């Protein structure tokens, strides 16, 4: 996940086409009691609206000092307090019990192995109160999209080169003149397996943030998992 330091200055521009998730996560936070925890908080794109609009305490965790510095600037500019902490989501260890742990914007896909993801799921489960929810979203691998853009430059939302390594379930995204970020896609059955080993129960699976049903045409996993009461 080292590419995040160089990626930080353009992160908000890169994420500018993803807006539907904000309302979704703010709505979940409004239903929660106690602190809301965001893994891979980035520049505060989700956490700051949650804090502003719900009044909930928000704990944002990220491994990138550059991302956290921007998040602090953005929170100060919005005149809102967010508890921002440097740390690896795989080592999540909170004293505060939470009703809601979130990991937006496909951040779990930056973890390279199943063991890495299992650690996050187990740590998130431990951080939750009984009945609490772990919620995340991730893209569904689309072989048509991969075939169309593999080995090519794209101009939007920021000029970048995309390359797929199918044998590793990995896509590498290289910004022009900048760093390379890698994502490892995860299947439906693998997500179910991660919930199972962590002791979570699938509460809902949507195909987008408007809560449309997930089906064979869906291109986004929006998962809501619950810790048994």
Taking the C-alpha atoms of residue 192 and residue 135, their distance in angstroms, rounded to an integer, is: 13
Note the pLDDT tens digit of each residue in 193-227. Answer: 999 999 999 999 999 999 999 999 999 999 999 99
Q: Which residue segments constitute the domains of the chain, with CATH numbers given?
A: 4-140+187-226 (3.40.50.150)
How far is the CA of 163 from the CAs of 31, 109, 199, in angstroms?
40, 16, 35
- The residue whose two tokens read 């699976």 is 205
Place of tokens 């929660």: 32
CA distance 17 to 1: 22
Q: How far apart are CA 147 and CA 2, in angstroms?
A: 27
Residue 2 pLDDT: 52
pLDDT at position 5 is 83
Position 7 scores a pLDDT of 86
| CA atoms of 222 and 212, how far apart (whole Å) | 10
Distance CA 167, CA 159 (A): 26
At residue 180, the pLDDT reads 94
Query: Over the stretch 85-108, which tens digit does the pLDDT of each residue have?
Result: 999 999 999 988 999 999 999 999
Q: Which of 167, 161, 137 is nearest to 149 (CA)?
A: 161
How confident is the prediction along the chain (229 residues), in pLDDT tens digits per residue? Answer: 456 788 899 999 999 889 999 999 999 999 999 899 999 999 999 999 999 999 999 999 999 999 999 999 999 999 999 999 999 999 999 988 999 999 999 999 999 999 999 999 999 999 999 999 999 999 999 999 999 999 999 999 999 999 999 999 999 999 998 899 999 999 999 999 999 999 999 999 999 999 999 999 999 999 999 999 9
């Amino acid at each position: 996940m080292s590419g995040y330091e160089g990626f930080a200055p353009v992160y908000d521009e890169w994420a500018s086409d993803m807006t539907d998730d904000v309302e979704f996560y703010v709505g979940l936070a409004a239903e929660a009691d106690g602190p809301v925890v965001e893994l891979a908080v980035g520049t505060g794109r989700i956490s700051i609206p949650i804090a502003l609009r719900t009044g909930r305490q928000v704990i944002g965790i990220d491994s990138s000092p550059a991302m956290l510095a921007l998040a602090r600037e953005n929170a100060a500019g919005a005149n809102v307090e967010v508890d921002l902490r440097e740390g690896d989501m795989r080592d999540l260890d909170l004293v505060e019990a939470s009703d809601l742990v979130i990991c937006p914007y496909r951040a779990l896909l930056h973890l390279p192995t199943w063991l890495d993801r299992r650690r996050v799921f187990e740590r998130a489960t431990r951080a939750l109160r009984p009945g609490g929810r772990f919620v995340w979203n991730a893209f569904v691998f689309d072989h048509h999209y991969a075939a169309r853009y593999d080995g090519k430059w794209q101009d939007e939302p920021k000029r970048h080169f995309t390359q797929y390594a199918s044998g590793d379930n990995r896509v590498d995204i290289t910004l022009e003149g900048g760093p390379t970020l890698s994502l490892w896609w995860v299947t439906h059955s693998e997500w179910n397996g991660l919930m199972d080993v962590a002791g979570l129960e699938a509460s809902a699976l949507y195909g987008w943030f408007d809560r449309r049903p997930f089906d064979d045409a869906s291109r986004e996993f929006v998962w809501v998992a619950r810790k048994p009461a």
